[in-house]
């Protein structure tokens, strides 16, 4: 009978005889073949020999050594190459005893496409394969959407696709709200549009003051020439440009381009706030919560995190860290090798950089506190929602939409909001269906109206300073319905340029049985969740809450309509005369059917008022 594989220091020591005194990467595996740890070394032989020693290790390393049953090795030409390979393997294998950086979502950029006579300004995520100029990265979809919307107001560049551009016969909604110059229908010629493109490039390359001064001069000249319409357009563009600069927050004077990493740990958990500075402006930040072994020091964790962070992303020329990480020079050399230019890795000691770092570290501490205060069960449910729908991260804001009506009468659309703190009832909204062209009972048209009104408002608010916004951008939108409703929602999002909001349709199964819900996601086959899944129960609760709120809003509207008396709308009929009319005829319906002569016989109703009442009820006959 074969003996169990040996583990621990003795097993590790057996590798020493054949290991070279050369740089490389090692992997430690348990008896089941799972990777426990990935490390790099300037000398594989010396590093592995340290694990073969008995004693002198902290608890984490001791446990790791005791579990180790096998080791794998790769030699490299230099320690720099070893560091790059180590980062790749950690991201790929996610070993238990390493810091695990699990967010592989690429950051959004702004792309100014240059392969069309009228360049398109749009958000871009992923590989930079399109021909054009890229600006970024931005920390989040919200940050890039706000900047992009305001850039469209300032420079009036188109955001529509080439196919939409070619098919246009009249200006779209964006032209009406002064966010596009409508080159698709000839409202601006190619030369004038090219000037707008050059101004946009100058602004995004950090020459914002020059662009703004030039527009102010043009505005003054137009005003002096009494061309007040042109002056007003230029004024609006200057105002939008100022909003971009104001919303960027802390804008440094001592550097133009850098990524800043501020780390804070407490209670066995850690938060790293990453700030992005480009063209001398703060382009937003994003918090990360890497998996941290409880006894790993913060500098070691931060160094490992930064190495993995740039595995598939371009590094800037300057990286600022809140901690003095081990092998900082080696990290800088590795990032320089990957980027193709010199990358500096520094810990600010004084001056403006130090002040900005302290503010960022305060953000990291506060963000970690908020995360630790969240309800763990709710967080697990949101993690499950992210896994079920293939989201990059657990949703912070979920909006669920539903409609309610009776054969088209008193139609109401509504959405509810849920997040880490449960239902956010102060964020619920209802919409009275207003369209007069809508066929009564047309659920698709009602859904289109509700979503258009809600997200058109979002697009408008995101062009304004963040502190003025009333409605936040959701991460996930659930539609009560199947493929038809989902296609309507997707079309509304496409028309308004709303991106980075996940769309899911949820419909009940045969006979509307709860538990047999089907889920629909664009580009994916319909699917169901396990009947006993807590995530399914959670999604059912969300759907039922939206249904309850929509029905309640509909009933209130219907009750108000039932309680209303058409006589209230007749000018000159007050409480006394209404009472006299109702006492005389018995009901409002009888008043409506009365002749002019009969109305004139009511006490207190003159012939003039009688004619008004008669005309009110017979104006359409």
Contact between 269 and 313 (Cβ < 8 Å)? no
Looking at 165-174, 204-213, 382-391, which range is the least confident one? Answer: 204-213
603 — pLDDT class (breaks 50, 70, 90) = confident
pLDDT class for 613, splitting at 50, 70, 90? confident
The whole-number average pLDDT for the span 28-51 is 89
Q: Which residues are registered as beta bridge partners of 519?
A: 506, 527
Q: Are 47 and 39 in contact (CB under 8 A)?
A: yes
Count CA within 13 A, CB hemisphere, residue 489: 27
Contact 239, 150 (CB under 8 A): no
Res. 138 pLDDT band, cuts 50 70 90: confident
Among residues 113, 28, 36, which one has the least CA distance to residue 73? 28
For 191-224, write each residue's pLDDT tens digit.
Answer: 989 888 888 887 776 666 666 677 777 788 777 7
Decide: residue 54, CB within 10 A, 0-12 exposed, 13-18 middle, 19+ buried.
Answer: exposed
Q: Which CATH architecture has domain 566-618?
A: Orthogonal Bundle (1.10)
- Average pLDDT on 363-373 reads 75
Determine the Cα angle at 467 with ends 461 and 470, to 5°: 50
For the ranges 58-72, 131-145, 496-510, which has the lowest average pLDDT?
131-145
Average pLDDT over residues 500-505: 92
Range in 146-150, 309-313, 519-523 with the lowest mean pLDDT: 146-150
Cα angle vertex 581, ends 575, 586, to 5°? 120
Q: What is the DSSP letter of 202?
A: H
Confidence of residue 5 (pLDDT cuts 50, 70, 90): very low
In angstroms, rounded to a whole number, what is the distance separating the alpha carbons of residues 138 and 321?
19
Task: Give the pLDDT of residue 220.
Answer: 80
User: Among candidates 269, 334, 332, which has minimal Cα distance to 301?
Assistant: 269
Phi, psi of 317 (to 5 degrees): -75, -20
C-beta separation of 471 from 457 below 8 A: yes
Burial classification of residue 138, based on how many CB atoms lie within 10 Å of its CB (0-12 exposed, 13-18 middle, 19 or more buried): buried
| Superfamily the domain 9-93 falls into | GIY-YIG endonuclease (3.40.1440.10)
pLDDT at 504: 94
* 363: pLDDT strictly greater than 50: yes
pLDDT of residue 219: 80
Is residue 3's pLDDT more than 90? no
DSSP assignment letter at 620: T
Report whether pLDDT(505) > 90. Answer: yes
What value does the mean pLDDT take over residues 601-607?
86
**Which option is the CATH number for 258-373: 1.10.20, 1.10.12, 3.30.1490, 3.30.420?**
3.30.420
Q: Copy the structure tokens of residue 301.
A: 């964790």
411 and 457 Cβ atoms separated by less than 8 Å: no
How far apart (Å, rounded) are the C-alpha atoms in residues 37 and 288? 21
Residue 225, burial from CB neighbour count under 10 angstroms (0-12, 13-18, 19+): exposed
Task: Kindly state the average pLDDT of the residues 452-456.
Answer: 89
- Is the predicted pLDDT of residue 296 greater than 70, yes or no? yes
Distance of CA 228 to the CA centre of its chain: 39
Question: β-strand 258-266 against 318-321: which pairing, if any?
Answer: parallel
Domain chopping of the chain, boundaries? 9-93, 109-247, 258-373, 384-562, 566-618
Kindly tell me if the per-residue pLDDT of 263 is higher than 50. yes
Q: Which tokens hold the place of 161? A: 């696709």
CA atoms within 13 A on the CB side of 104: 8
499 touches 477 (CB < 8 A): no
| CA–CA gap between residue 306 and residue 278 (Å, rounded) | 18
Q: What is the pLDDT of residue 388?
A: 92
Least trusted range by pLDDT, from 165-174, 235-244, 452-461, 512-521: 235-244
CA angle at 103 for the pair 147 and 75, rounded to the nearest 5°: 125
Q: 291 has which bridge partners?
A: 100
Helix or strand run (H / E) with residue 348: none
- The mean pLDDT of the chain is 81
* Distance, C-alpha 139 to centroid of its chain: 10
Does residue 137 have a cis bond before it (omega within 30 degrees)?
yes
| pLDDT of amino acid 247 | 44
**For residues 52 and 466, which has the higher predicted lDDT (pLDDT)?**
52
Q: Is the pLDDT at 161 greater than 80, yes or no?
A: yes
Which one of 3.40.50.300, 3.30.413.10, 3.30.420.40, 3.30.420.340 gives the CATH number of domain 384-562? 3.30.420.340
Q: Which tops the pLDDT comparison, 72 or 7?
A: 72
Q: Are 110 and 279 in contact (CB under 8 A)?
A: no
Pick the closest to residue 383 from 244, 254, 499, 533 (CA basis).
533
The per-residue pLDDT for 617 is: 78
pLDDT, residue 249, reads: 46
d(CA 286, CA 276): 9
1 has pLDDT over 60 = no
35-49, 90-104, 214-228, 400-414: which is most confident: 35-49
Closest by CA to 108, choosing from 81, 83, 133, 136, is 136
316 φ, ψ (degrees, to nearest 5)? -80, 180
pLDDT at 232 over 70: yes
Tokens representing residue 170 in the block? 């009249």
DSSP E strand stretches across 183-257: none
Do 384-562 and 258-373 fall under one CATH topology? yes
Above pLDDT 90, what percent of the chain?
Answer: 15
**How would DSSP label each residue in 349-403?**
-SHHHHHHHHHHHHHHHHHHHHHHHS-HHHHHHHHHHHHHHT-SS--S-EEEEEE
| In the predicted structure, residue 140 carries a pLDDT above the cut 80 | no
What is the band of 179 on the pLDDT scale with cuts at 50, 70, 90? confident
- Closest by CA to 546, choosing from 430, 375, 391, is 430
Mean pLDDT of the region 451-471:
76
Question: 0.85 cut: is pTM over it?
Answer: no
Residue 375 confidence (pLDDT): 53
The answer to whether 180 and 174 are in contact (CB under 8 A) is yes
Q: Which residue has the tokens 């009228």?
A: 118
DSSP state letters, 276-292: EEETTEEEEEEEE--B-
Give the span between the Cα atoms of 270 and 371, in whole angstroms. 10
- Per residue in 535-567, pLDDT tens? 898 898 898 888 888 887 656 655 555 545 667
**First vs last Cα of the chain: how many Å apart?**
101
């Amino acid at each position: 009978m074969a003996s169990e594989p040996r583990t621990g220091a003795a097993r590790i020591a057996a590798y020493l005889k054949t290991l070279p005194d050369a740089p490389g990467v090692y992997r430690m595996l348990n008896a089941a073949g799972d990777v426990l740890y990935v490390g790099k070394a300037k000398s594989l032989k010396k590093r592995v020999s340290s694990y073969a020693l008995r004693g002198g290790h902290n608890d984490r390393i001791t446990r790791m050594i005791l579990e180790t049953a096998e080791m794998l090795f790769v030699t490299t030409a230099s320690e720099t190459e070893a560091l790059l390979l180590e980062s790749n393997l950690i991201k790929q294998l996610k070993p238990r005893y390493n810091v695990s950086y699990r967010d592989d979502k690429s950051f959004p950029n702004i792309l100014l496409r240059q392969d069309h006579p009228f360049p398109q300004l749009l958000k871009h995520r992923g590989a930079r394969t399109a021909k054009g100029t890229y600006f970024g990265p931005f920390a989040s979809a919200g940050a890039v959407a706000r900047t992009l919307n305001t850039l469209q107001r300032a420079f009036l560049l188109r955001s529509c696709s080439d196919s939409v551009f070619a098919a246009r016969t009249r200006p779209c909604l964006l032209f009406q709200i002064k966010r596009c110059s409508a080159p698709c229908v000839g409202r601006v010629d190619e030369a004038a549009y090219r000037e707008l493109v050059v101004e946009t490039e100058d602004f995004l390359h950090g020459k914002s003051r020059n662009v703004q001064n030039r527009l102010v001069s043009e505005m003054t000249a137009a005003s002096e020439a009494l061309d007040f319409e042109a002056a007003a357009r230029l004024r609006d563009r200057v105002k939008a440009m100022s909003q971009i600069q104001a919303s960027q927050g802390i804008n440094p004077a001592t550097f133009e381009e850098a990524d800043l990493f501020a780390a804070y740990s407490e209670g066995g958990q850690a938060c790293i706030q990453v700030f992005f500075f480009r063209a001398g402006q703060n382009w937003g930040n994003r918090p990360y919560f890497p998996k941290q072994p409880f006894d790993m020091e913060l500098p070691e964790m931060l160094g490992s995190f930064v190495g993995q962070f740039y595995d598939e992303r371009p590094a800037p020329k300057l990286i600022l860290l809140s901690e003095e990480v081990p092998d900082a020079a080696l990290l800088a050399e590795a990032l320089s090798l990957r980027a193709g230019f010199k990358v500096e890795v520094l810990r600010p000691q004084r001056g403006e950089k130090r002040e900005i770092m302290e503010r960022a570290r305060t953000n990291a501490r506060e963000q970690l506190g908020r995360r630790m205060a969240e309800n763990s069960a709710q967080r697990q449910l949101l993690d499950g929602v992210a896994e079920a729908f293939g989201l990059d991260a657990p949703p912070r804001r979920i909006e669920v939409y539903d409609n309610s009506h009776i054969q088209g009468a008193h139609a109401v659309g509504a959405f509810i909001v849920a997040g880490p703190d449960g239902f956010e009832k102060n964020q619920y909204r209802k919409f009275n269906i207003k369209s007069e062209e809508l066929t009564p009972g047309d659920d698709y048209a009602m859904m289109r109206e509700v979503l258009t009104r809600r997200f058109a408002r979002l697009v408008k608010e995101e062009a304004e300073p963040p502190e003025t916004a009333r409605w936040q951008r959701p991460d996930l939108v659930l539609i009560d319905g199947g493929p038809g409703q989902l296609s309507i929602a997707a079309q509304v999002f496409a028309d308004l340029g709303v991106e980075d909001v996940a769309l899911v349709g949820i419909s009940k199964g045969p006979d509307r049985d709860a538990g047999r819900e089907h889920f629909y996601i664009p580009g994916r086959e319909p699917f169901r969740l396990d009947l006993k899944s807590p995530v399914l129960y959670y999604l059912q609760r969300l759907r039922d809450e939206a249904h309850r709120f929509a029905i309640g809003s509909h009933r209130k509207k219907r009750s108000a309509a039932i309680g209303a008396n058409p006589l209230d709308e007749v000018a000159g009929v007050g409480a006394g005369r209404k009472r006299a009319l109702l006492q005389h005829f018995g009901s409002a319906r009888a008043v409506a059917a009365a002749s002019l002569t009969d109305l004139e016989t009511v006490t207190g109703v003159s012939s003039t008022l009688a004619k008004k009442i008669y005309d009110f009820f017979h104006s359409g006959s």
